[in-house]
Chain A
């Protein structure tokens, strides 16, 4: 790739040519990224929605200009955090341009720095940020001509500040970002982003309430002192003719941007001296592993105990697994616990634990696939299939069950919702046992091939097969649906018992939950172990070479050729449809219905379209959103199926 750059930018190339070549290279990297153009389009749609949403916030009319500063400073801070986090996620995934790639080119450091800087300001993200920052310009129009004149440079400087700030963070983190630690950090931030995407609405709602009533003075001061708040402070000061403050804030923005730019230029030579390893494999400082604790002695000797020990070590040391637990807690907490507290809905609290168990189950959909070809080791010790399956089940239950049970019991007790006990006692064992059984069945019968862990460029690198990411998400949602289905029989008994006021029936529901869990765990483990013994070679082959390896697959060409990528247009359409589908179903559909069911204050509207309609139309509108969303997801799945079925 550097060769292409060199040929396009020979020694005499100017900043323009260098920047042009860099932009082309970055575009190629995005195109070849895991998930391909579909992911890029999906992310851009989300970015655009956020940018336009922020811009529209500039239209909100406040009687007190101080409220306007509160709101815009909060949004500015959110965008700054996004810009600092974004590159860590992107680089952690092994993407993005790295200055060290260009160390050997005959380009002066100054010209390369200018080129890299120009690239930072080109492209989609800075443009969307400019749209978002223009909220200040929109808000300023209400205060007259001079505030608008102040708002123009303030808006531009705001964009410069966030972009340069993000460059400095990347340069300062340097090689760490390319190491395994960096990938883990990127994974952590990605988990936070996923959690916010699915549950951030509750925080937004809380924030909306705060802004409507005015934040506590300490928070308001902090928002203004942070550089992300200086631009709105300058405009508000100009509106009340406080010139020293207006000019001071503008000058401060300019000075800080210049300072950060200087820091970045100073860091760049050091960054370029770092080894430019292949995708994210800069030698990480060896992570010292704590010596084994006493818990290992509690495990039985022999094959099953050995598998349990291996799995528990992995749970403790693999950030992917830790992130899964964190993600489950964040998502269920944001969607249930935060609204429960903020909107006084204690009935939501008992469900935090079961919801967390369902989300953790999603991560167990591809147990063998996520280990790459590591199955070969077990294949070389035939007769241990049962131990392998039962050991994985035991370890999973040892980790997930205590968290779920403690969370459920504690929150149900705190909530004071006595009626909820039979429900949670019935569904939790069914979900836990059912997942332990069905995850093994799904993992051996419908595996998704992933790159070997030691070759991955980050926790979200699924490999060279562009359809693997989609397939994996499909399996995860299938696992979610299966885990939820496990709870249905027991839940029905409890509901009927409650409707008929028959505690005996509710008790039967609790027993049915336990029985479902035990039975599914036993049956799933048994059938998975049998399948592993009979078809283990085919499973390994599938994980090693891909679906072409399956007997009967009339794959053309050599075995290692990756599946053809969806065409750009199709991938883009799939990404767009998926995004629209999820947005319609969750925040625009399920959440407003939930609000109505639990009688949330009608003033809480935020961005839930249905909440702005008259009372009687809200539920039908939300239901219509769900139908539209389901249609969009169905269309996305059809595109995926037709494209993959065609090969």
Chain B
């Protein structure tokens, strides 16, 4: 995979409002090619909304998103060819098996049948979904759903992966497998953006971090730049301005 001088992902002044609420407020972000980027933030901070706008699933009220310099709204065909996406808990064609789902998507993307068949086999094996060969996606567990969605994101050899909470509901063994897959992808020149609220995980796998709180990007840079001398946990609590309560529930101790 060749690296490009263009940023893998560039968000410029993204804004999204829902009625009176501004969910995402002028978020700008640059992800250099070949980086493993972690977007962290509390629940409801705007991570999912930002990433949905970044990959062209949600139309922003303002700002743009570019993938390797290509605007995802002006030239979606080219931009989405370079993108592999794992959204957070969206529906799938439920009445297909994992293999059928990958075959369907491969053909939809215009890959030739032999390539689709070979890649589907390999993805199912690596993600340990071959045992569920004859199970419909409708009967998959939450972790299996996540894994098959990841497979759909990898199928067409994208150059940028955008994964919303990829490790949620995944068992430790599969999580390790996925970490290895993503690491290898980055080592080969690919770029990865994940969102998570597990700081330890982000510290372990990412080399760059962005912190989002109340719809705004409050910090971004390399892992060391963001966390300073301390842990990412401490930096996060400080940046987000969280107050950890020790009061209430007094009856519990009585």
Contact = CB atoms under 8 A, between A and B. Distances in A.
A376 B19 contact: no
Nearest to B113: A301
B90 A374 contact: yes
A317 B136 contact: yes
Interface stretch (A283-291, A426-434, A438-446): A283-291
A286 B139 contact: yes
B108 A381 contact: yes
A448 to B, nearest CB: 15
Interface residues of B, number: 45
B2 to A, nearest CB: 23
18 contacts: A180-B138, A286-B132, A287-B135, A289-B135, A291-B134, A303-B110, A306-B104, A317-B95, A317-B136, A372-B90, A374-B90, A374-B93, A377-B93, A454-B94, A540-B57, A558-B18, A558-B19, A558-B21
Contacts of A540: 57-58
A509 interface: no
Interface stretch (B75-83, B118-126, B245-253): B75-83
Interface of B: 18-21, 23, 55-59, 76-77, 80, 83, 85, 87, 89-97, 100, 103-105, 107-110, 112-113, 132, 134-139, 141, 145, 152
A548 to B, nearest CB: 6
Nearest to B135: A286
Interface of A: 180, 283-284, 286-289, 291-292, 301-303, 305-307, 309-310, 313-314, 317-318, 371-374, 376-384, 387, 452-454, 537-538, 540-541, 544-545, 548-549, 553-559
B251 to A, nearest CB: 13
Nearest to B92: A374
Residue among B18, B97, B134, B141 with max Cβ neighbours from chain A (10 Å): B18
A537 B57 contact: yes
A557 B152 CA distance: 35
Contacts of A292: 100
A373 B48 CA distance: 15
A357 B18 CA distance: 41
B57 A384 contact: no
A289 B94 CA distance: 12
B91 A374 contact: yes
Given A289-B97, A303-B110, A380-B55, 11 more contacts: A292-B100, A305-B107, A310-B96, A374-B94, A378-B108, A453-B91, A541-B58, A548-B18, A556-B19, A557-B20, A559-B19
Given A384-B108, A541-B58, A558-B19, A373 B95 contact: no
B108 A372 contact: no
Contacts of A372: 90-91
A557 B90 CA distance: 23
A300 to B, nearest CB: 10
Contacts of A286: 132, 134-135, 139
Contacts of B97: 289
A514 to B, nearest CB: 31
B57 A289 contact: no
A287 B107 contact: no
B38 to A, nearest CB: 22
A555 to B, nearest CB: 4
A307 B96 contact: no
Contacts of A383: 77
A454 B139 CA distance: 8
Given A306-B103, A313-B96, A452 B91 contact: yes
A555 B91 contact: no
Given A286-B139, A289-B136, A541-B58, A302 B107 contact: yes
Contact of B94 (A283, A379, A381, A453): A453
A306 B108 contact: yes
